[in-house]
Amino acid sequence: MTTVLNVDSVSRSFGDRAVLKNVSFAVGGGKLTGFVGANGAGKTTTMRIILGVLAADSGEVTLGGKPLTREIRQRFGYMPEERGLYPKMTVHDQIVYLGRLHGLSSSAAEERTGKLLERLGLGERAGEKLEKLSLGNQQRAQVAAALVHDPEVLVLDEPFSGLDPIAVETMVEVLRDRAASGAPVLFSSHQLELVERLCDDLVIIADGGIRAAGDRATLRAQHAEPRYQMLVDTDAGWLRDQPGVELIDLDGARAVFTLDAGFDDQKVLLAALERGPVRSFGPVVPTLTEIFREVVR
């Protein structure tokens, strides 16, 4: 069974500054949804509102159609942008404590903590104070803090920042695992390549407004005009004068261009063949970075 987390027309200002303007999007259950936007676009504010750490001025957040209450939110897992645990408490004790705060019984919290730390490779360090751990291991403890209560919804603010490559893979595994169990998983990231590799859905925010939201393939189709790339043996400069073609990038024998609406790409290919051998020709799938640039512009 999957549930949808819905952000519905949420606005929030700090003083005179409107940080979120009528923000709406959905995070589907069982899906990894990437939340991208420039610094200050409103990602953290949105996530804090989802978690109830901040109140929205207007609008609401629902899970499976129900407005969020303290009880529902207690089953959320959250990793704030600014990380932090108790430096002088042992890893084990604080994960158990956070499990208890999320409503687990003492024995359930103990059991979950043991398993989770084992899985995250922290089993042997469980009895040490957090401050004694390496930075990478502290990050793993932070992951454990968000997961100890088997959250039904995961909201992670920049979960990959500061992680070493091995920890990134562990994190990816953890996210996929949660999504596979049907939970909506929302995470923000600056690393667009990573988001591109992982996400099923995307939400793009700029200046406090949602610019695009939906599944990746649809977004691609909607937001990036089809581009073509061609590689020939000689200079491809003649494309400039070709009707229906708009040259975007020319690097000697390699050219990237778009076509006027309805213009047949095969005509361009024929024209190229007349001038000599063509090594490659075809549409380019736009990268997330390009979509992002396009959408945010």
Residues that bind other proteins (CB under 8 A): 48, 51-55, 70, 73-74, 76, 78, 80, 82-89, 97-98, 100-103, 145-146
- Whose Cβ is closer to other proteins: residue 174's or residue 224's? 174
- Whose Cβ is closer to other proteins: residue 5's or residue 98's? 98
- Whose Cβ is closer to other proteins: residue 73's or residue 211's? 73
- Whose Cβ is closer to other proteins: residue 54's or residue 256's? 54
- Whose Cβ is closer to other proteins: residue 83's or residue 254's? 83
Count CB atoms within 10 A of the CB of residue 124.
9
Closest approach of Cβ 142 to other proteins, in Å?
9
- Whose Cβ is closer to other proteins: residue 144's or residue 288's? 144
Closest approach of Cβ 83 to other proteins, in Å?
6
Which two tokens mark 152? 């039904």
Q: 131-154 burial string, b = 16+ CB within 10 Å, else e? A: eebeeebbbbbbbbbbbbbbbbbb
Q: Which residues neighbour 141 within 8 Å (Cβ) at sequence distance 6 or greater?
A: 85, 91, 94, 95, 120, 122, 130, 133
Residue 191, Ramachandran bin (φ over 0: left; ψ between -120 and 50: alpha; else beta): beta
Going along 5-164, which residue ranges are E strands? 5-14, 17-27, 32-36, 58-63, 66-67, 76-79, 153-156
Closest approach of Cβ 71 to other proteins, in Å?
8
Closest approach of Cβ 249 to other proteins, in Å?
43
Task: Say if CB 2 and CB 30 are below 8 A apart.
Answer: yes
Amino acid, single-letter form, for residue 101: L
Strands 58-63 and 209-215: unpaired
Closest approach of Cβ 220 to other proteins, in Å?
34
Which two tokens mark 141? 């403890």
Nearest by Cα to 237 from 248, 257, 256, 253: 253
Closest approach of Cβ 192 to other proteins, in Å?
25
